[in-house]
Structures are given as structure tokens and as C-alpha cells.
């Protein structure tokens, strides 16, 4: 019997500050970002895609701490569309032990260390220390990538989100920078797009589609997925302090 492939959406529609979890108003990514994968729970009923992540070394996938898989089996697939025959890479989830202790710096960062190296995929690049603070970011574009729901549908009844298990990308523009956060505009009325339910832990690349430099990971946003993608910076001392235990840093 074919395995069922679903996306964790309904259970995550919880609050205005809930996890941002999927690409909205973007386009199918195809093979543009083969180093972006979906975290999936594995059970007898099929695969449940619940977060995204980025391969940053052959043995390490970068994701968010709140993507902790919990009990049961989980894995990662790098297929552009999660399907019955998607190859699954297994590993161990390691969250930043300081996650959730401070609101100003949530340490919402984690890695999956694979049991075996992932071959045939070029890992993404990580930023140098303090990179975003040294750049002129006004007018800069960023590319978010992830799996999950596509857009919010309104009219003719209760609004709902379209969902699938397809890797998508979206272009967003700079909005604000803090000591921990990179905030990106994802308002489709101004030509931006971004994240929603189905994409936590996914990368935000500095630049357009061809960029391989991931400078932040998607953490949260607004409940209707039309305003701001709130992402966790990877160039800070706290993020680098955690990553340094798992991957070589520039």
C-alpha cells in the first residue's frame, strides 16, 4: 500500500506568533536548491513533513530548535517533491541547549547529524561572523526556501491554506535587522513573497535564486502569512557558538 504523504498544517495554526511554516506566493523550486530538505516523521500511515532544513556539510542539516521531532522515527529527504519513494536520510537531532530561555535571543537553532554522509549534494555556505551588520541591507533581496502550504485562500467561506509536499522558493526584501533577528517583507502587494505553515527551519539565502549563502533560518511570522518573515541570524556569536560544535565555520 503506498505511503500517505501529508503536510503538518492544521495543528500549527495556533497563534499570531506561531511558527512560520511554508512558502507562500512563491514558485516551485525544482532543482534550484537541492541542499534544502524536508524533515519528515515516519510511521505506518506514511510521511508527515513538518519542517525544513539546509545541508551545510555532508553530515549536518541546519534547522530550527522548535522543529524537534519528538518521539517516533523521523528523517530527512532532499526530493523536490516528497513522495512514496523519496529516499530518507536518518540521523540525530541536536537543539541548542539554550533554546527558549530568553526572548531577545531564543537560540532557536538546531542540527540533524546524519548517520551517513549525504553524497551528490553541494552543501550551502554559512556567513562570516557579523556579516549582516556590515552590509547595507536596504534594497537587498533574499530567497526563502521550504516545503508545505502555498497560500491562504479567502472568499466563499472560511479561509484555508493550500498545501502540498513540494519544495518552493520565494523572493523577499529587507525590512529590519536586530541583534538576533532578520525581518523580511513578504507582502505580495509589494511584490514580495515568503513563508507560512510548513517551512520552519528553512533557509533564507542572501540574494537571488543562484545564491548559496544562507544567512538566516525561518522561525516565525504573522498568522495570515502576508506581512513579515521573522528569521534567526546565523552570523551572531550565539548562533556561531552552537554551530561551531557541529560544522566548520568561515
**8-45, pLDDT tens digit by residue?**
433 333 333 344 434 667 789 999 999 999 999 988 77
Give this prediction's pTM. 0.86
CATH topology match: 4-19+34-123 vs 131-233: yes
List the one residue out of 248, 182, 245, 203 whose CA is nearest residue 54.
Answer: 203
Domain definitions of the chain by residue range: 4-19+34-123, 131-233
Please name the CATH architecture into which domain 131-233 falls.
Beta Barrel (2.40)
Residue 207 DSSP label = S
Predicted pLDDT of residue 12: 36
CATH class of 4-19+34-123: mainly beta
Is the pLDDT reported for residue 3 higher than 70?
no
Q: Maximum Cα–Cα distance for the chain, whole Å?
A: 54
Q: What nine digits make up the cell of 94?
A: 541536536
CB atoms within 10 A of CB 135: 15
- How far is residue 17's CA from residue 14's CA, in Å, rounded to a whole number? 8
Residues sharing a CB contact under 8 Å with residue 14, sequence separation 6 or more, in sequence order? none
Amino acid at each position: 500500500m503506498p505511503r500517505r504523504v501529508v503536510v503538518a498544517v492544521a495543528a500549527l495554526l495556533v497563534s499570531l506568533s506561531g511558527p512560520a511554516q511554508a512558502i507562500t506566493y512563491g514558485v516551485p523550486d525544482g532543482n534550484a536548491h537541492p541542499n534544502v530538505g524536508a524533515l519528515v516523521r515516519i510511521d505506518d500511515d506514511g510521511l508527515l513533513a513538518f519542517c525544513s532544513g539546509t545541508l551545510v556539510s555532508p553530515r549536518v542539516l541546519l534547522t530550527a530548535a522548535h522543529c524537534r521531532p519528538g518521539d517516533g522515527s523521523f528523517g530527512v529527504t532532499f526530493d523536490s517533491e516528497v513522495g512514496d519513494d523519496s529516499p530518507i536520510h536518518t540521523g540525530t537531532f541536536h537543539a541548542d541547549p539554550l533554546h527558549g530561555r530568553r526572548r531577545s535571543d531564543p537560540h532557536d537553532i538546531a542540527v540533524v547529524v546524519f548517520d551517513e554522509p549525504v553524497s551528490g549534494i553541494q552543501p550551502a555556505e554559512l556567513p562570516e561572523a557579523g556579516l549582516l551588520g556590515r552590509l547595507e541591507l536596504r534594497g537587498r533581496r533574499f530567497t526563502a526556501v521550504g516545503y508545505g502550504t502555498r497560500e491562504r485562500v479567502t472568499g466563499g467561506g472560511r479561509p484555508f491554506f493550500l498545501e502540498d509536499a513540494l519544495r518552493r522558493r520565494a523572493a523577499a526584501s529587507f525590512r529590519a535587522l536586530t541583534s538576533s533577528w532578520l525581518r523580511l517583507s513578504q507582502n505580495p502587494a509589494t511584490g514580495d513573497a515568503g513563508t507560512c505553515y510548513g517551512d520552519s527551519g528553512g533557509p533564507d539565502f542572501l540574494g537571488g535564486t543562484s545564491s548559496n549563502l544562507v544567512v538566516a533560518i525561518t522561525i516565525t511570522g504573522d498568522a495570515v502569512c502576508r506581512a513579515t518573515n521573522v528569521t534567526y541570524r546565523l552570523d551572531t556569536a550565539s548562533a556561531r557558538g552552537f554551530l561551531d560544535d557541529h560544522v566548520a565555520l568561515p
